[in-house]
Structure 1
Amino acid sequence: MQSLWEDSLKEFRMLSTSGILGYGFPEESLKAGLARKPHVIGVDGGSVDPGPHYLGSGKPFCSPQAIQRDLRLMLNAAIDAGATLVIGSCGGAGGAPHLEFVANLVRDIAREDGLSFKLALVHAEQSAEQILEHLANGRVNALSGRPDLNRDTITEAVRIVGMMGPEPIARALEAGAQVVLAGRSSDPAPWAACAMHAGFPPAPSWYAGKMLECGATPAIPKGHDCILVTVREDEVECEPTNPARRCTPLSIANHSLHENASPIHHLEPGGMLDTSDCSFDPISDRAVVVRGMAWEPRDYTVKLEAVERAGYRAFTVCGTRDPMLIDIIDQFLETVKENTASKSGDLGISSGDYSLSIRVYGVNGVMGEREPRRNDTGHELGFLVDVVAADQDTANAVLALARTQMLHTDFDGRLCREGNMAFPFSPSDQEAGPVYRFSMHHTVRLDDPCEMFPVDYEMVG
């Protein structure tokens, strides 16, 4: 089918299906969006929000079944409508295995459904050698609060990705790709790439990306659903496609604040989106138009994200409603830790060979030591007993000792001569496998925005 991009474009319509590929969306919302003839259908595929595990393990954080369901609907819709399909941060973390995972799903769907198109894969995974070269050339800087990058951190990283801007994606569009799958990217970048490639200025293009990156989150009630954003020369119009949702000036302004250190200055590769002069005007009871955004070009930098292995984890969950134990819980847990250290020593495991944490839900399980209401203890407490060690066997052994101490450690006033804790599962102890931690939150300065992000092309079908 002929591409919608060949029209004379006074406005550019982009349809985002959800906040993350695999979160799901109503099929009727997609159909309603297609009736508006979008030039682009897309979704953000990932985030660092779920933590470092997915980048380290190479696994997606949404289920393959859910990702495949969303992909099938979106891919068929885009090909049937002659629209472009764009997905950023594929597979969750945007590394090489994540990108290939999504690409294989796309190939499978195309084969099963008889679809044909040009596919572009934009790679974001970086080799240690590449980053070492950038470091040697003085192009790497630490983000606020991070230590300077060094050779050991680079060589010990399990996986490194660069967060691409719009230029590598625009390069794929220029080459005629109808389906563009990108590795790790700035959340708004795929949308900004499409709008700027269509000839629209950076300011509304980037602002549109901010609205599209989380699906219908800028609408009320919030939900994983579709939103249509129309870009014009000096404005952006936002409207959810589900009639049960609506955009208001407050909901749009509220969403424009999220995930930024500044409420009005949004740093992106190659510049800053300034929203300080934005106006938010309703044009119906469900749609809002935004004007006044500005783009300030800056030196081109991209963020580096990396993880290193921190050990192996084992954990257990238990709870108590013994009021006498709850009254002395801090003292009790210190005794548990001391006894665990002593018993571990009998096995030849020193206290430096593992870390043991006991998170107490009902006291400070969410905020830890920053919890301001430490005296508001409930009638029952839940415990997450967590051990990380250099190998799985050590983690399992220490956890077993800690679980026994939670269950049987004595305390003053104790009436029950059996176990102190209720365990909801059997087996009580769970292996969580490798544990990762973020090791890079740095930026690298580039002369060419595409130099770290090669593009592969193939004809599918």
Structure 2
Amino acid sequence: MKNALRILCPNGHLGFAPTKEESFWIGAETQPDYYCCDSGSDDIGPVPLGSDISVSFYEWQTHDLELMLLASRKQGVPMIIGSSGDTGTNSRVDMYVDIIKNLAKKHKLAPFKLVYFYSEVSKEYLQQKMQQGIAIEGLDGRENLTPEELEHTERIVAVAGVHPFIKALEMGADVIIGGRSSDAAVFASAALYEGFPEALSYYLGKVLECASFCAEPYMAKESVIGTITDEDVKVTAMHPQQRCTIASVAGHAMYERSNPFYEYFAGGMLDMTHCQYEQYDEKTTRITNPLFVPIDGKTKVKLEGAGKIGERYIGIVGVRDPYTIQNIDKVIEWARSQVAERFSESEYQLYYKIYGKNGVMGDLEPIKEIRSHELCIVVEGIAPTEKIAEEVTLIGARQIFYARLPEVKGTAGTAAFVIDGVLSAPPAYQWTMNHVVPVDDPMELFTMHELTIE
């Protein structure tokens, strides 16, 4: 067992924007033991999961994978990726596996073992659970999953904990390409596999998951290195002008929790209530005393699912007429009524997002309402077919121009400018699942595959 383990994280969301190379190679020169990075998030909304696409450019994802692959293979140390291709669906895992194959061929790398796992879950699996009387519990205020919600779901992924990654390391993986995963598990798995304490391992994952977001001043996509021992975690900024300070590290570790002192994982809870922080050196903060509290009872795995609402179009309207701006709520009401008159028998959704309506904000609330001299109105129409969605959006946008307001006498259209037509947008999806399913085995929902890259 190592006395200390050092993990380099180059990017808080691989491929979402390209990794900055200077700090990456500074970190690589220190010879870390692992290169780990998460590549996904539900922050991007349900559309990518539902439609099975990436929101990050393929070239950016390839760039980041290439940096990590070349550095890790040069050293002969493992490289771990979670939530491949933004969503961690099976197709995104396959895409990353193909990228690794192509990069290995391009750079004529020596043979290495690649292990990958899938995270998608079938609706049939969950139907069987529900038929057995097993509740699929909702999170964050959601009700338990219903058969109707399940039927409306296009695609489901299970969020892996540390278990598939540890299994891949036990299989001798040099490169791991993971399906949808807990951000922190990507890093914690390496530390747990190497024999370090649970609490420190999970804290290491939590603090590293967003890379340089735990450092100051704010800089995105810069590399950091986390070091774990049996007694502590240290996190160090690699960019020459960044520092990991007590404030930046503690703030990041707690930034997204409803209760900022706790983070839940399959089988336990990370308790950061008693963490101690100290400035270890100019660029490094040392953390001690996190706790990991086991949770009794059945292991539960988080599920994410997305379902299609309909086809979608977008229109943009500019308004400069002062009287129209003053009465913009009535204008929008008129435009809505015209769409409703046209589509009284059709299902549709129509949204107006008004930019510039109200003005300067104080520290906590508006100082006073300041009306802009110009408004930008984004009109979004959703319907079962592209034709209806396009027409709903077009009428909803153009009727702003034709709104009937009192005291307007025969103007020739000075109120608004409507773009010529509306724009097709990706279909609209909604989150249908933010639930947990009880499992007998934490590996139950994940399938492992291995191959030798030559």
TM-score under structure 1 normalisation?
0.92
Q: String of CA shifts for 1:401-438, please: whole Å, max 9, x gaps.
A: 22221223242344741252234x5x440111421111
CA change 1:451–1:60 in 2 (3 A) is: same
Alignment partners' CA distance in 1, 2:329 and 2:26:
56
Match runs of 1:66-145 below 5 Å? 66-115=60-109, 116-137=111-132, 138=134, 140-145=136-141
Q: String of CA shifts for 1:222-265, please: whole Å, max 9, x gaps.
A: 22210000011121000011111111000011001122111101
Alignment partners' CA distance in 2, 1:239 and 1:428:
52
Given the alignment of the two structures, is residue 389 of structure 1 paired with residue 388 of structure 2, yes or no?
no
Residue 214 of structure 1 aligns to which amino acid in structure 2?
Answer: C
More displaced 10-residue stretch of structure 1: 38-47 or 131-140: 131-140
**Helix, strand or coil for the counterpart of 1:281?**
strand
Residue 348 of structure 2 aligns to which amino acid in structure 1?
Answer: Y
1:5 alignment partner in structure 2? none
1:30 alignment partner in structure 2? 24
1:281 alignment partner in structure 2? 278
Given the alignment of the two structures, is residue 316 of structure 1 paired with residue 311 of structure 2, yes or no?
no
**Helix, strand or coil for the counterpart of 1:125?**
coil
Residue 157 of structure 1 aligns to which amino acid in structure 2?
Answer: T
Alignment partners' CA distance in 2, 1:303 and 1:102:
23
Given the alignment of the two structures, is residue 176 of structure 1 paired with residue 150 of structure 2, yes or no?
no
Shift of 1:134: 2.6
Alignment partners' CA distance in 1, 2:217 and 2:408:
50
1:255 alignment partner in structure 2? 252
1:238 alignment partner in structure 2? 235
More displaced 10-residue stretch of structure 1: 179-188 or 150-159: 150-159
Shift of 1:139: 5.0
2:11 alignment partner in structure 1? 18
Residue 268 of structure 2 aligns to which amino acid in structure 1?
Answer: G
1:217 alignment partner in structure 2? 213
**Helix, strand or coil for the counterpart of 1:126?**
coil
CA change 1:328–1:64 in 2 (3 A) is: same
Alignment partners' CA distance in 2, 1:139 and 1:100:
32
CA change 1:372–1:155 in 2 (3 A) is: farther
Given the alignment of the two structures, is residue 46 of structure 1 paired with residue 45 of structure 2, yes or no?
no
Alignment partners' CA distance in 2, 1:100 and 1:181:
9
More displaced 10-residue stretch of structure 1: 408-417 or 27-36: 408-417
Alignment partners' CA distance in 1, 2:75 and 2:421:
52
Given the alignment of the two structures, is residue 338 of structure 1 paired with residue 334 of structure 2, yes or no?
no
Q: Identity of aligned pairs, percent? A: 31
The ranges of structure 1 where at least 4 consecutive aligned residues each deviate by more than 3 angstroms after the TM superposition are 371-376, 412-416
Residue 337 of structure 1 aligns to which amino acid in structure 2?
Answer: R
- Could you tell me which of 420, 429, 433 is aligned with 1:436? 429
**Helix, strand or coil for the counterpart of 2:40?**
coil
8 Å CA contact 1:24–1:225 kept in 2: the answer is no
Shift of 1:379: 2.1
Alignment partners' CA distance in 2, 1:77 and 1:287:
23
Alignment partners' CA distance in 2, 1:71 and 1:253:
29
Residue 308 of structure 2 aligns to which amino acid in structure 1?
Answer: R
2:198 alignment partner in structure 1? 202
Structure 1: gaps spanning 5 or more residues: 1-7
Shift of 1:152: 2.6
CA change 1:312–1:139 in 2 (3 A) is: same
Shift of 1:351: 5.9
2:189 alignment partner in structure 1? 193
**Helix, strand or coil for the counterpart of 2:212?**
coil
Residue 185 of structure 1 aligns to which amino acid in structure 2?
Answer: S
Alignment partners' CA distance in 2, 1:273 and 1:364:
42
Alignment partners' CA distance in 1, 2:54 and 2:223:
22
Structure 2: gaps spanning 5 or more residues: none
8 Å CA contact 1:363–1:374 kept in 2: the answer is no
8 Å CA contact 1:324–1:413 kept in 2: the answer is no
The Cα RMSD (Å) is: 1.9
Q: String of CA shifts for 1:157-214, please: whole Å, max 9, x gaps.
A: 1100000100111000100011001111111011111100011011111001011110
CA change 1:294–1:388 in 2 (3 A) is: same
Match runs of 1:262-277 below 5 Å? 262-277=259-274
Residue 15 of structure 1 aligns to which amino acid in structure 2?
Answer: L
Shift of 1:352: 4.8
2:412 alignment partner in structure 1? 417
8 Å CA contact 2:320–2:415 kept in 1: the answer is no
Alignment partners' CA distance in 1, 2:331 and 2:394:
18
More displaced 10-residue stretch of structure 1: 279-288 or 109-118: 109-118
TM-score under structure 2 normalisation?
0.94
More displaced 10-residue stretch of structure 1: 224-233 or 410-419: 410-419
